[in-house]
């Protein structure tokens, strides 16, 4: 569900015509809907309302501090994976007591920053990391809490690059090894190892793998408690799917319908780390058609956005629905599916200006006819869009715009040549 819709053939972000944004800000530009962010956060909170739940929005999905600020004001906690993300959250006014810190390679500096901020939990991914956290906490005279990340060896049936809960991954420890870790470190006075973290991957489309992972993890927690360990919380991570195509993933209520019954009467606080499912449909990437060309039997639509702006299609073979920002009424899409072929469309490849054959947004995609200067909207681009963008080919990163009802504001200016070279001088 999102607040991007067509009105009389024109695409609006909430109450703002996106063509107006392009005219004032230029393209390519990321456009975010504040209402969509808040609506998804609200739905998740309602779905898990009967459990003591902290929702920690994953900063890596879309980390503009202006977005983090209103998410904090709406009551969200934050899932971070670096010192830079911690800094962003604190700059945005996030509550340190609702921050969980994941990541397999935290540096001493980053751990010290987390200790100074007095965050809720460090999510620990190895014995070596736990030993280092204990050492640094003792040096600083600090006390903190930690959650051990375990791998339940469950496959979420998603892309191999975003599958993280199998036995042979760099993340976490085997669920069988977890008991040894607790036996060796749970009594430490500086680091209270009192929670379990599990995250099986991103982009899942069914609830069964998440329920299976939870059942395995609850079995582990029962064993740990029987051995005298105090387990106060379970962090189920994130990875819940977002609707890149219409009605293809469970809703927050669907996920909760499988998860909440398993947690009833377990005496566990629940932590969730949704990023994609909150941010994905809250953003689009608006790009302008530069040229049309034909190569052999192929028709190409060349746009001013490139893989440096949105790398998900070539990196993950990800689908993003693409449609012109202005179309005839009969071509207004009522679903966003890869096989949508309305009368009057033609099959094209949508590609960018980067000097790479991997620089594409869609191949063999049905689109209404477009011409030079037309605007295309790449939908469901709010998660891992701008946050994974780069300056490849010495291209300045896109501007970011936040829409709030009938108003919009630039929340990150477009990078200039001077911006890109400033740190090299």
pLDDT tens digits for range 184-214? 999 999 999 999 999 987 667 889 989 999 9
Please state the φ and ψ torsions of residue 225, each to the nearest 5 degrees: -65, -35
Cα angle 339, 300, 381 (rounded to 5 degrees) comes to: 55
- What letter does residue 20 receive in the DSSP assignment? H
Walk me through the domains of the chain, giving residue ranges and CATH numbers. Answer: 4-32+280-424 (2.40.37.10), 34-277 (3.20.20.10)
* β-pair partners for 367: 346
Calculate the alpha carbon distances from 348 to 118, 123, 290, 292, 303 in Å.
Answer: 52, 45, 14, 10, 12
Upper half-sphere CA count for residue 247 (Cβ side, 13 Å): 2
Return the H-helix or E-strand segment holding 144. Answer: strand 144-151
* β-pair partners for 291: 302
pTM recorded for the entire structure? 0.94
Contact indicator for 107, 129 with CB cutoff of 8 Å: no
The answer for residues whose C-beta is within 8 angstroms of residue 282's C-beta and 6 or more apart is 2, 32, 33, 36, 37, 40, 62, 382
Upper half-sphere CA count for residue 55 (Cβ side, 13 Å): 24
Contact indicator for 4, 33 with CB cutoff of 8 Å: yes
Distance CA 6, CA 13 (A): 9
Strands 53-58 and 77-80: parallel
Distance CA 6, CA 2 (A): 12
User: DSSP readout, 58-111?
Assistant: EGGG---HHHHHHHHHTT-EEEE-SHHHHHHHHHTT--GGGEEE--S---HHHH
Return the H-helix or E-strand segment holding 137. Answer: helix 127-140
3-state secondary structure at position 157: coil
- What letter does residue 3 receive in the DSSP assignment? S
Note down pLDDT in tens along the chain; length 425 residues.
Answer: 799 999 999 999 999 999 999 999 999 999 999 999 999 999 999 999 999 999 999 999 999 999 999 999 999 999 999 999 999 999 999 999 999 999 999 999 999 999 999 999 999 999 999 999 999 999 999 999 999 999 987 865 544 544 444 445 567 898 888 999 999 999 999 999 999 999 987 667 889 989 999 999 999 999 999 999 999 999 999 988 899 999 889 999 999 999 999 999 999 999 999 999 999 999 999 999 999 999 888 999 999 999 999 999 999 999 999 999 999 999 999 999 998 888 999 999 999 999 999 999 999 999 999 999 999 999 999 999 999 999 999 999 999 999 999 999 999 999 999 999 999 99
Contact indicator for 390, 377 with CB cutoff of 8 Å: no
Catalytic residue numbers, as ranges:
355
Please report where in the chains the tokens 């982009």 appear, as a residue: 203
> Which among 304, 210, 289 has a CA at the least distance from the CA of 250?
210
Calculate the alpha carbon distances from 275 to 48, 61, 416 in Å.
Answer: 16, 5, 29
């Amino acid at each position: 569900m999102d607040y991007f819709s067509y009105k009389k053939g024109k695409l609006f972000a909430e109450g703002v015509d996106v063509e107006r944004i392009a005219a004032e800000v230029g393209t390519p530009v990321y456009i975010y809907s504040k209402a969509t962010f808040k609506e998804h956060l609200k739905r998740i909170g309602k779905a898990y309302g009967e459990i003591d739940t902290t929702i920690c929005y994953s900063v890596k999905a879309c980390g503009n501090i202006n977005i983090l600020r209103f998410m904090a004001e709406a009551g969200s906690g934050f899932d971070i994976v670096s010192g830079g993300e911690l800094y962003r959250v604190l700059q945005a006014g996030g509550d340190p007591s609702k921050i969980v810190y994941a990541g397999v390679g935290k540096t001493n500096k980053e751990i010290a920053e987390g200790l100074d901020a007095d965050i809720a939990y460090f999510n620990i991914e190895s014995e070596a990391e736990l030993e280092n956290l204990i050492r640094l906490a003792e040096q600083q005279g600090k006390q903190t809490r930690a959650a051990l990340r375990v791998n339940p060896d469950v496959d979420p049936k998603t892309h191999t690059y975003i599958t993280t809960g199998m036995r042979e991954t760099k993340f976490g420890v085997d669920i069988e090894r977890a008991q040894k870790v607790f036996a060796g470190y749970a009594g430490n006075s500086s680091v209270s190892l009192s929670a379990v973290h599990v995250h099986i991957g991103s982009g899942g489309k069914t609830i069964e793998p998440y329920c299976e992972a939870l059942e395995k993890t609850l079995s582990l927690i029962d064993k740990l408690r029987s051995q005298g360990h105090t387990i106060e919380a379970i962090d189920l991570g994130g990875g819940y799917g977002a609707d890149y195509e219409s009605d293809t993933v469970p809703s927050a209520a669907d996920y909760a319908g499988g998860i909440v019954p398993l947690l009833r009467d377990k005496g566990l606080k629940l932590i969730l780390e949704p990023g994609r499912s909150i941010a994905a449909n809250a953003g689009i990437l608006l790009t302008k058609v530069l040229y049309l060309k034909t190569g052999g039997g192929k028709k190409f639509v060349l746009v001013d956005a490139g893989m440096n702006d949105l790398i998900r299609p070539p990196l993950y073979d990800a689908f993003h629905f693409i449609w012109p920002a202005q179309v005839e009424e009969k071509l207004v899409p009522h679903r966003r599916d890869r096989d949508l072929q309305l009368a009057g469309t033609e099959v094209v490849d949508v590609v960018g200006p980067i000097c790479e054959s991997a620089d594409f947004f869609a191949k063999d995609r049905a689109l209404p006819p477009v011409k030079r200067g037309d605007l295309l909207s790449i939908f469901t681009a709010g998660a891992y869009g701008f946050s994974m963008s780069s300056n490849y080919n010495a291209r300045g990163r896109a501007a970011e715009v936040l829409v709030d009802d009938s108003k919009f504001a630039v929340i990150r200016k477009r990078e200039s040549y001077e911006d890109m070279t400033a740190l090299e001088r």
